[in-house]
Every structure is written in C-alpha cells, then in structure tokens.
Amino acid sequence: MTAPAPSEVWLVDPGARPSPPPEPAVDPEPFHRTLPGYAPTPVRALAELARELRVGELWVKDESHRLGLPSFKLLGGAWAVHRLLLERAGLPLPGAGWPELQAAAAGAAGTTLVTATDGNHGRGVAHIARLLGLGAVVFVPAGTSAARIDALRSEGAAVQEHPGSYDDAVTAAAAAAERQGWLLVADVATGRDRTVPRWVMEGYQTIFTECDRQLPGPVDAVVVQAGVGALAAATARHYLATVRPPRLAIVEPLSAACCLASARAGRRTSIEASQASIMAGLNCGTPSLVAWPHVAAATTVFCAIDDEWARRAMRRLAAAGIEAGESGAAGLAGLLALADDAPARAALGLHAGARVLIVNTEGATDPAAYRAVIGASAAAEVGP
C-alpha cells in the first residue's frame, strides 16, 4: 500500500457558524417529475466500505444517469430555465410543469441561452435548450477535455473556449450575454445577477427530496463535493430544514479549495491556485455569492484532497458496480481521506452506528480519462 495522498482538513466550531440566510422554500421536485423520462436516481448501499470505514451504514445517491445525461446538473439548469422563461412570459409558477415550459419557450423563439462550465452544468443547459428549440452558447476554460467539448456540441451548443480559468469563463459568458442580449443561465453568482444562480442551486434539492423517500431513515453525516458550492448549499438548505440535521463535510481538490480557504478566512474569498485537478467539475476559484452563506452555516468539516484520493474512490465505486467520474467520486474520496483522521471523525460523528450519505455526481463524462483510472490492474485495489 502506498502512502496516503495529501489532504487538508479544516474543522468548524459549530458555535461559531453564522445563521443560515432566510429564503422562501420552493420545492422544484414537482416540476422535475413532469420532465420527459423523469425517474428518481437510485440510492445504493455500500456495506463493505461501511465496515472498512467503521460506520454503520454508507449510502450513495447515484447521479451517473439523470434524465438522459451522465450527471445531476440538469436538475439545476432545467429549473432555472423554467423559472426564467415563465417569469419573462408572465406565467404563474405554482403548478407549472413541462407543458407550461414548452409554451413559454415557444413564445421566446429565437432566444439563446448562454453559460459557462468546467464540468456538466453547460451540458445540462444545452440539453434543455435543445429540447425547447432554443439556442445555446457555452463558454469553457482553456484546457477543457475534447470529450467534454464534444458532449456540449452533441447537444447543439456553440462552444467557446476562453483563455484562463473557469472564473474567467464565467466573466466572459456574462459579458457575452449583456453584449448579445442572450439569457445568462449561470450556476455561480459573482456580482449583480444572483437570482438565476439561486434557482440553479434550488433545483439540486430534488436529489435530497428523493433521498428522504428512498433511505430507510435519517442520516447522521453527509459528505458532498463542492466547486462553486451550489450542490453543497442545496444539501445545507435541505437538511437544515429537518428536525435533526446531519453533520456536513465539504470536499474539494487541493488545488481549488476555495470553500476551505473561505472558511479559514471567515469570509468568502478567492484563491489563485492552478485549479488543474482531474476533478474538472470542481476546478473553481471562488464560491458563489448565493451558495456560500448556506455552506458556511451548515458545514462541520472542510476537506481538500489530492487527485489520488479521487482515483482511489473511482476504483472503489467501480468495484461496487457504480460508474463515477473524477468529480463524481469526490464525496467518497473525501470520506476515505477523513476516515483515519480522529478529530474529523469525532466532528462528523463517524462512529460504528453512524449512517452516512455521499453523492456520486457524475458518470464517466470523459471516457478516456475514466479508462485511464479504471484499468484491470487498478480495479483490484481494495484498500481505502
């Protein structure tokens, strides 16, 4: 067994956490249930890993196939487009579903949606645009893999590779929207536009509404990955509203740990690291303005991991019959890294009877990269 890869952990004093921001509770799941091909994604038990990690139960919500795409991201993109187009058309939101969205899109013929992505959000926006007969332009940071660009183009999107980081692509997409009169469907709030990123974040809560029905009981700890923090914020929003909220751990790449840096600073902050992790969907340098307050209010443990942890987690999930890309496996990767950290275990309540939830956020979105990690020899690895 090789030495453990580097990781960094920041524990939060629960008494020092800020209060969560008050926001109206809007449930996106009834809308999602009207989408063509909707079905809840499965929750799978990982009994062998639970024993190795010395917890009672370990469950993974498997988002490797969601509404015809290999990630959860369509949930946020579709909900944001739904709310955006209905609002523009002056149509009421309560009770509106796919037929009403189609009608609103028909009245917005010729409209182009634009966004930035370093993972799967752009594909989700492009997919919903194609289904609605709208145009889509997606900005990606330099170095985005050919497989991910091809996937965007397969949805009919025009792809613009922008020099620099994901944050630079976000800025370029917003400028193009203002210049061209396009509709910006951003999943990160950095300045004036906070409404649409809030809707994207809101859309992800369907994952946990489904979990409430699928799991045999409440969970004690949730370990979830973060890029700009939208999924983590959706996790926080959902569980902070429950009777006994589970403890929350946030996982990021070492080279893009903007949430950990913000927690350490006591305020939302940006990082200047290379953001070149194989966990491409998490290569973000600044937490979203609308996500960070929820993340700060709920998180017990921030964990930044080396890429080797993601590779290990991918292999472990593959051995359990679950396809997970590099970002998808990050939740398990963080749990593996935290398993032997005594202070983190205590903070998260990872005892022999604990029930733990992770989310596999994507399948093999870059097939070549996936094959490079999941080989015949690598699949034999059994240690965490």
Catalytic residue positions, numbered = 73, 118
Helix (H/G/I), strand (E/B), else coil: 237: helix
The answer to whether the CB of 100 falls within 8 A of the CB of 108 is no
What SS3 class is residue 165?
Answer: coil
All residues at 6 or more sequence positions from 16 whose CB lies less than 8 Å from its CB, including other chains: none
Q: Is 28 helix (H, G, I), strand (E, B) or coil?
A: coil
Contact 292/190 with Cβ under 8 angstroms?
Answer: no
3-state helix/strand/coil string of 52-81: HCCCCEEEEEECCCECCECECCHHHHHHHH
φ, ψ for residue 362, nearest 5 deg: -155, 155
If DSSP codes are grouped into helix, strand and coil, which group holds residue 352? coil
**Cα 121 to chain center, whole Å?**
9
For residues 33 and 95, the answer to whether their CB atoms sit within 8 Å is no
Alpha helices in the chain (DSSP H): 29-32, 47-52, 74-89, 98-106, 121-132, 146-154, 166-180, 195-203, 206-214, 230-240, 258-265, 292-298, 307-319, 330-338, 342-348, 367-373
